Amino acid sequence: MNLRKYLKVYKKFLHTSLASELEYKTNILVDLITAILSLVGSIFLLSIFFQNNGYIGGWKFEQALIIQAIYTILNGITNTWFNPNLTEIVKHIREGTLDFVLLKPIDSQFFISLKKINPSGFLEIMLGFLLLLFCIRINQINLNLSFLTLSSITISCSICILYSLWFFISTTTIWFVKTWNAIEVLRSFLYIGRFPLNSFSFSLRIFFSVFIPIAFITTIPSEVFLGLSVIWKILLEVIVATVFVITSRRFWLFALKFYSSASS
């Protein structure tokens, strides 16, 4: 893979999608306001849950805020990259415009995963990081090298798992054509990621760890922040993320063999 070429193309992707989005100023403004209100609403909802009892699943409100911060960052990444690109796969396949992607001398997964960008998602990412910094302060977390390394690894793994899950579902469009519902179900499950995994029953914990790995997406990185995570959990998250990335990649290449393009 020619890295220089891919960087050059990504620079163009950034430029064209920012220019496209900036054509509609009001839309960006509405998105920005929505991002702020959504975060305020989520924190308010979380505070209500903690009002009666100071703890949920062994977590204090200040600790649960870390999960909210990580969720906000991931949601920001989802809205910046995954949502505008991966939902477009369905459109590409339904309308047959995937033809243009497949006939370009560039990796098709790279193209369809990164072509677009939604700048309003950046604000959500920034708000998430601000909240995270606030949580670091109120939870008196010691910022040292091992903490930064482990938190970066676990957040990166979370992004990979989330991307792979979404990409996997979008890929099934090649056979099922419409998969909007499945993506909506995935997004609904992600909302659950705002709460500590321990706050759910045993069977739900198993479900959210094995079938829909929400636990790996928000809870494990949050545990790293609080110094609660054990090394085997982090290793497991790295393994799960690697398996997800490889599987979704192979699944995409396999699915393309069944792509029949839309009729003209």
Partner 1 sequence: MVKNIIDVRNLSKSFDISSKEPGLKGTIKHFFRRQTKSLKVIKDISFKIKEGEIVGFLGANGAGKTTILKMLCGLIYPSEGSILVSGYLPFRRKDNFLKNITLIMGQKQQLIWDLPPIESFYLNASIYDLDKFEAKKRIKKLSEMLEIDEELFIPVRKLSLGQRMKSELLAALIHEPNILFLDEPTLGLDINAQRNLRKFLQRYNKETNATICLTSHYMKDITSLCKRVICVHEGSISYDGKLDLLLKKLSPVKEILIVCRSEEDANKLENSGFTVKNKIKNEITIKIENNSITSSLKTILNNFDIEDLFINEPPIDEVIGKVLIKKNYDI
Instruction: List, as own/partner pairs, every contact residues 257-262 make where C-beta atoms lie below 8 angstroms and the sequence separation is at least 24, other chains included.
Output: 258/174, 258/175, 259/93, 259/98, 259/102, 259/174, 261/96, 261/98, 261/99, 262/93, 262/94, 262/95, 262/96
Contact footprint for partner 1 (CB under 8 A): 2, 5, 8-9, 11-13, 15-16, 19-20, 23-24, 95-97, 99-100, 102-106, 257, 259-261, 263-264
In the complex with partner 1, the residue whose CB is nearer, 26 or 263, is 263
- Shortest approach of partner 1 to residue 122 CB, angstroms? 19
**Distance (Å, whole) CA 221 – CA 66:** 9
Cα angle: 47, vertex 50, 56; to 5 degrees: 130
For partner 1, the closer of residues 4 and 232 by Cβ is 4
Q: Cα separation of 163 and 170, whole Å?
A: 10
Task: Pick between residue 12 and residue 178 the one whose CB is nearest to partner 1.
Answer: 12
Q: Give 10 or 49: the residue with its C-beta nearer to partner 1.
A: 10
- Is residue 157 within 8 A of residue 237, CB to CB? The reply is yes
Instruction: Report the distance separating Cα 137 and Cα 145, nearest Å.
Output: 17
**What is the longest distance spanned by two Cα atoms in the chain?**
62
Q: To the nearest whole angstrom, how small is the minimum distance from the Cβ of residue 258 to partner 1?
A: 8
Query: How far apart are CB 170 and partner 1 at their closest, in Å?
Result: 19
If the CB atoms of residues 15 and 137 are measured against partner 1, the closer one turns out to be 15
Nearest approach, Cβ of residue 80 and partner 1 (Å) = 18
Token digits of residue 202: 């045993």
- What element of type H or E holds 56? strand 55-56
Residue (30 or 243) nearer to partner 1, CB: 30
CB of 32 to partner 1, least distance (A): 19
CB of 9 to partner 1, least distance (A): 5
Closest distance to partner 1 from the beta carbon of 34 (Å)? 21
Backbone Cα Rg of the chain:
19
